Structure 1
Amino acid sequence: MPLFWRISLFNAVVLVTATALLLGPVTVSTPVLLTEAAILTVGLAVILIANAVLLRIGLGPLRQLRRTMTTTDLLRPRARPAVDGHGEIAELIATFNTMIDRLEAERASSAARALTAQESERHRVAQELHDEVGQTLAAVLLDLKRVADRAPDPVREQLHQVQESTRASLDEIRRIARRLLPGVLEELGLASALRSLAAEFTGPSLSVRHHIEPRLPALGDNADLVLYRVAQESLTNAARHAGATRVDLTLERTEGALELSVRDNGSGIDDTAEGAGIRGMRERALLIGAGLLLRAVPGGGTEVRLTVPVRDPEAEPAGTP
């Protein structure tokens, strides 16, 4: 029975009973006697308390629903509120759950289209950097070498410096192109791509240690790309923003899932709003139904953990050990 009718029925029963008693053996004196006033006061208190209890029990699920509505984040899916209560309240909670399911599905679909377009644009830019800018700089290096071979000694030294600057720019262009288009991921698989990524970030100021299981389950191109991009974004954050000197990258099989962990010893995370990089990781995780956890590491640092469900435990290993 809906809450409205339960309260109305309860009050109707009380009022009809009170009216029947007043018309029958029960009377109220004029002026009202002390015992009669006490009885009326107790009766009124019982009615008010009963109404309050009925409303509190009936509206309890709505308070839980309100808390859920104020904390819902489509990038952080969690358990739906239980369909408690009766009548309209149960229908309202069920409708809210259906709405969240639909919104999450639409968000995942739009994120998939956006990420597909993003990867296509990355591919186009990487190709242009490699084919256009890279080839042009390579031709400039050859021209500089021919001119330097014929130039007098003072000019030759300056040309050599220009050659080194041009060569450094060419190396940087190739490095950017590799980050935009991880060809090793398509050619050699996820394990080799993550090892290559760890080696790329390792330098004088940052040490990246990795532990990657040699036999990984086949996840599909989308999942492999999401794992690679999350690892890449985590390493970028550790190197550029966290001031870390050591990062541990781990990819291992757990029960029913594949877990990627990137843990650094940097400055850690704070309560500020998440940037575009972290929100991008959450959208990628949502795309493949994975769970993403960011947490502060005791003693300083941050850990990014991506848990990708593995639906086929007997899948053939993918990638190169």
Structure 2
Amino acid sequence: MIRVLNLVALFVVISLCSKAQLPLDQQRYYDSLTTILQHTRSDSIKARAHYALVYYWVPRDTAKARQCLDEARRLSKQYPFLQAISYGHEGYIYYSSDIDRSDASFAVADSLLNSFATKEAYQARANVWINRAAIRQRKDDDRGYIDIVLNRAIPYALKAGDSAIVASQYVGVGLAFMNLEQYDKAEPYFDKAIRIFQSINTQPSRLVAALNRAGENYVYLKKYDEAKKIVATVKTLLAPYPDSELYAVHYMVEGLCYLHDQQYTQAEASFNKGITAARGPNKAYVIQELSFYKVKALLANKKYEPAKQQLLELSSNEEVMELGSSRLEIYEGLATSYAGLGQMKPAYEWMKQARHLSDSLHESDLANDINDLEIKYQRAESQKEIITLKAKNEQAALSAKNSRLYILLLASTTLLLLIVATFALLYYRSNRKLLMQKELNHRQELKDIEQQQRLQFGQAVLQGEEQERRRLARDLHDGLGGMLAGVKINLSGQVEKIAAEQQGELRKTISQLDDSVTELRRIAHNMMPANLLKFGLQTALKDLSESLMTAAVKIDFQAYGIEPSMPEQTQINIYRIVQELLANAMRHAEASNIILQCSQDGDTFLITQEDNGKGFDTSVNGKGIGLSNIRNRVGFLRGMMDITSVINEGTTINIELHVG
């Protein structure tokens, strides 16, 4: 799916010269501004009115917007502050057509506003940085966007005492986290924004914009009941304003809820309404997003021909095709469409392109991960060298100081020689002890740093291993599995076309393909269990225990108080630990009866495994690869492991993990 382009700076950001956002009733807004121009003689008030009209005309007629800006600048010649904010409005005009020129104008505005220390100036600077942050996001830099909003825009808004801007930027930060697919982090920012908008007297359009995006985030979090409540609330708020551009995102969230409920015709209708309602400088991006969702509804409703036409139209858009994820979705959608239409040859070609692109994207991600690990390791090594060199320099400086003091003492008078010599000896011994203690301290610091670096590197390796398992599982399931499925489709289409005596052999081949697909899915499940990601740790451990039981091996799995809210990475590590424990008990201990207990008490997670296997000598056989992997993961979770084993009587393993 194309990324959710967070253009909140143009969608919900306030004017640079007033405290009011472009309201839902835009005609009334325009009429009030023209009335001001007709009945006032003040150049400053007229200039502000023309600046406000810039926001009205940009989505309708950029030439008229430019005329309003020129007239406002003419009227602002005697007012330095109004001259400064004119560059912010100029940046707004160029935002859709030339973002580099737009960013340059916003930079000039911020530079000129730096000489003013009023609440209005802080408000204007907050909006300048909001728009510059939006430009970073258009350049695919979500982290840069979040940094600017949190460290530039919001501090200026707080100085201005403008809660509305702060709330709007909470919406923007939430959208940025949505772009990074960190939907749980986005949720509290949307909640803060909605609470602020509901507590202050502001334009309802801001509250609607925040609710729309919060509803979309609920869909990604699979909180469909909350999303539906949002849809109902927004529908009531927008009812008096049938021409509002905010309907576009409202219909998108409504369509996603219909899509989840498998009401595909209603979902398609909602997405079409959203496309019709899209307006303003963000129109193209919103329509693209809605079009991709519409394709999902068409394919789910088996309307393959309209879906194909929509995908071909999207593929002709160069901006859409710049993103690899968008191209991948288009290729996969075309493969599904052609297959649904019975055109297997183009379906196969599109599927082949999709798999090739998917492999390229995964290889790029893996290369980036490896480069990041290498950079972290090199930085750690450089830091160790700096600390070592610093310690040597300090030691050399102390030695030089002591030598100079010793020479000075030897040059003292003969009368005081004995006293000076005694003093020098005592001083030398004292300093030597001090140097030895410092050297021991430095060695301990280096040892601690080295141990910490090893732990961090081990953590990075474990994370990289899980990412690689996830990638391989996805590649096996989606890549090779998809290819085998395609082969099966092609062979199935040939059954009726060959002689009857040959159909048996072909059907036997198809059956073997089915067995291959089943085995492939089992391997992919072992590498990254789907049950863990879908239903949580307790269900995954129960399924693991049941899958390993045989007529000769009984596994008694007992779970107490396991919380489903643990981070996904923590659950994966616990699953791997249990998986290795069970494998060792069955493979090496040859146990016939295994008791596995998993319990959680707050931030502490306990694992106890007892078996009746042949046992082992922990001082000799306790350093195998399997136990090393377990110890690494226990160390990753800051835990402890205790092993008690008696030859021919069995083994008991107790593990305590910190999962807070």
What's the TM-score once normalised by structure 2's chain length? 0.31
1:262 aligned onto 2:606: no
- What secondary structure sits across from 1:216 in the alignment? coil
- What secondary structure sits across from 1:262 in the alignment? strand
- What secondary structure sits across from 2:621 in the alignment? coil
User: Cα deviation per residue 1:65-103 (whole Å; 9 max; x = unaligned)?
Assistant: xxxxxxxxxxxxxxxxxxxxx978877776665455333
Q: How many residues align?
A: 226
2:477 to 130, 150, 161: 130
Quote the offset at 1:203 in angstroms: 3.1
Which residue pairs with 1:229 in the alignment?
576
2:563 to 197, 216, 228: 216
2:652 to 303, 306, 314: 303
1:110 aligned onto 2:450: no
The answer to whether the 8 Å contact 1:258/1:310 transfers is yes
The answer to whether the 8 Å contact 1:238/1:244 transfers is yes
Quote the offset at 1:149 in angstroms: 6.2
Quote the offset at 1:127 in angstroms: 0.9
Which residue pairs with 2:204 in the alignment?
none
- The structure where helix makes up a greater share of residues is 2
Return the alpha-carbon distance in structure 2 between the equivalents of residues 143 and 268 of structure 1.
53
Which residue pairs with 1:289 in the alignment?
638
1:275 to 609, 624, 629: 624
- What secondary structure sits across from 1:128 in the alignment? helix
- What secondary structure sits across from 1:175 in the alignment? helix
Quote the offset at 1:126 in angstroms: 0.6
Return the alpha-carbon distance in structure 2 between the equivalents of residues 138 and 216 of structure 1.
38
Return the alpha-carbon distance in structure 2 between the equivalents of residues 113 and 185 of structure 1.
21
Structure 1 unmatched runs, 5+: 1-85, 312-321
- Are the structure 2 counterparts of residues 305 and 150 from structure 1 closer, same or farther at C-alpha, using a change threshold of 3 Å? farther
User: Cα deviation per residue 1:95-133 (whole Å; 9 max; x = unaligned)?
Assistant: 665455333322210111111111111111111100121
User: Cα deviation per residue 1:193-238 (whole Å; 9 max; x = unaligned)?
Assistant: 2112212222344332210114438543333222111011122223
- Are the structure 2 counterparts of residues 310 and 229 from structure 1 closer, same or farther at C-alpha, using a change threshold of 3 Å? closer
- The structure where strand makes up a greater share of residues is 1
Quote the offset at 1:175 in angstroms: 1.2
Quote the offset at 1:262 in angstroms: 2.9
The answer to whether the 8 Å contact 2:559/2:598 transfers is yes
1:175 to 492, 514, 522: 522
Higher mean displacement: 219-228 or 296-305: 296-305
- Are the structure 2 counterparts of residues 217 and 183 from structure 1 closer, same or farther at C-alpha, using a change threshold of 3 Å? closer
1:190 to 537, 540, 556: 537
- Are the structure 2 counterparts of residues 239 and 151 from structure 1 closer, same or farther at C-alpha, using a change threshold of 3 Å? farther
Return the alpha-carbon distance in structure 2 between the equivalents of residues 296 and 164 of structure 1.
47
Return the alpha-carbon distance in structure 1 between the equivalents of residues 498 and 641 of structure 2.
59
User: Cα deviation per residue 1:157-185 (whole Å; 9 max; x = unaligned)?
Assistant: 55555444433322221111112112322
The answer to whether the 8 Å contact 1:269/1:295 transfers is no
Answer 1 or 2: higher relative contact order, Cα 8 Å, separation at least 6: 1
Return the alpha-carbon distance in structure 2 between the equivalents of residues 214 and 240 of structure 1.
29
What's the TM-score once normalised by structure 1's chain length? 0.59
- Are the structure 2 counterparts of residues 219 and 171 from structure 1 closer, same or farther at C-alpha, using a change threshold of 3 Å? same
Amino acid in structure 2 at the alignment position of 1:275: G
The answer to whether the 8 Å contact 1:191/1:214 transfers is no
- Are the structure 2 counterparts of residues 297 and 173 from structure 1 closer, same or farther at C-alpha, using a change threshold of 3 Å? farther
Identity of aligned residues (%): 25
- Are the structure 2 counterparts of residues 114 and 255 from structure 1 closer, same or farther at C-alpha, using a change threshold of 3 Å? closer
Aligned-pair Cα RMSD in Å: 3.3
The answer to whether the 8 Å contact 2:598/2:606 transfers is yes
Structure 2 unmatched runs, 5+: 1-432
Return the alpha-carbon distance in structure 2 between the equivalents of residues 265 and 88 of structure 1.
56
Quote the offset at 1:289 in angstroms: 0.3
- Are the structure 2 counterparts of residues 181 and 160 from structure 1 closer, same or farther at C-alpha, using a change threshold of 3 Å? same
